[in-house]
Amino acid sequence: YGLSFVFAIFSCAVALLLVRRPRRELLWLVVLVVPIALPGVPGPVAGSRRALLVQPDIDTEMQWTEDNVRDTQQKLASLSRTPGADLILWPEVPAPFYVSDAQFRDYTARIAQTAGTPFLFGGVGFTPQREPLNSAVMMGPSGKIVDRYDKINLVPFGEFIPPMFGWVNRITKEIGDFVPGERVVVFPLDGHKLGAFICYESAFPDLVRQFVRGGAEVLVNLSNDGYFGHSAAHQQHLEIVRMRAAENRRWILRATNDGITAAIDPAGRVVERMPAFVQTAGLLPYDYQSIQTSYTRHGDWFAWTCFALGFLMSAVSLIHRRL
């Protein structure tokens, strides 16, 4: 929001000059001096840990059968065998993987046990009422499920149809509507803590900071951008995630179905990225950070202050005109 403010204030200044408003109306530009006094961007840092990020490149239009689900699982298991990882990550649910399915749980448990590594993957969970959830599941090296995070901010017309819009076409072919999760989950990870947000929850800075406030020392973004085809939306989504890293001074590991899978450092720099639209896996760097930024601690006070002042000044101006 601070960067948006800088762009907005410059645009407003240019507009005032073009319409030849009095120069005194440009005095508020002095607030742009404030960023000069802010701390500089942290220098590059090397991650001392390695996470294995699996990019399955699964066709989002595939018609699923028992055979191709089994083949997909075998390919994912093969990609997950690279040694040297401190953590294994799969993207947001790329196939009909149901957490309640005992066979799927046994399959994922064997992957974690074989690697002897914590394993975070996307799957479909269910509420006690059997309503589907878009979930991220953490499994320990023993093959036991540690905890599950259920996506809180769902995509309208993609994961659910808002009330009164039942006649609108869906973006995806998912059968049935997902329901939102109700809690922010921070997973334990080898004496540290990890927060995982799913897909376009990256566009909600206040939500992402809740994971860090809850103790997350590294962040993970599980996503499936396959529905965007080869459009610029892949790169745009990556840019959004970079902002969340910089705001909270956290490494972010971004595991996607077909790209852009990447490791982002606490300053928002893309340290490493994997080629898009290919089935692959790679060891990407990350590390743990415990510092909390002003934004992490205090949230969107600046944006709300701007809103309140704007509303107040508009009211004063309206009253002044009527007088």
Q: What is the pLDDT of residue 64?
A: 84
Whether the pLDDT of residue 304 is over 50: the answer is: yes
Q: What is the pLDDT of residue 118?
A: 95
Q: Which one, of 193, 115, 104, lies nearest residue 147 by Cα?
A: 193
Q: Which residues are catalytic?
A: 92, 151, 199
Q: What is the pLDDT of residue 71?
A: 86
Helices (H) and strands (E) in the chain, counts: 7, 12
Q: Distance between CA atoms of 138 and 121, rounded to whole angstroms?
A: 7
Instruction: Tell me the average pLDDT across 182-187.
Output: 94
Q: Distance between CA atoms of 147 and 145, rounded to whole angstroms?
A: 6
Q: What is the pLDDT of residue 263?
A: 97
Q: Which one, of 79, 80, 89, lies nearest residue 121 by Cα?
A: 89
3-class secondary-structure state, position 195: strand
Percent of the chain at pLDDT above 70?
Answer: 96
Residue with tokens 């080869």: 230
> What pTM was computed for the model?
0.86
Whether the pLDDT of residue 105 is over 80: the answer is: yes
Q: What is the pLDDT of residues 241-285, one digit of tens each?
A: 999 999 999 999 999 998 899 999 999 999 999 999 999 999 999
Count how many residues are written for the chain: 323
Instruction: Tell me the average pLDDT across 291-301.
Output: 91
Q: What is the pLDDT of residue 175?
A: 44
Rounded alpha-carbon distances, angstroms, from residue 52 to 37, 82, 206, 234, 302: 39, 7, 28, 21, 38
Q: What is the pLDDT of residue 174?
A: 47
Q: Which residue did the predictor score with more confidence, 54 or 172?
A: 54
Vertex 310: Cα angle to 209 and 313 (nearest 5) = 155
Residue 158: phi and psi, rounded to 5, are: -110, -45
Q: What is the pLDDT of residue 63?
A: 83
219 pLDDT tier (thresholds 50, 70, 90): very high
Are 51 and 89 spatial neighbours (Cβ–Cβ below 8 Å)?
yes
Whether the pLDDT of residue 197 is over 60: the answer is: yes
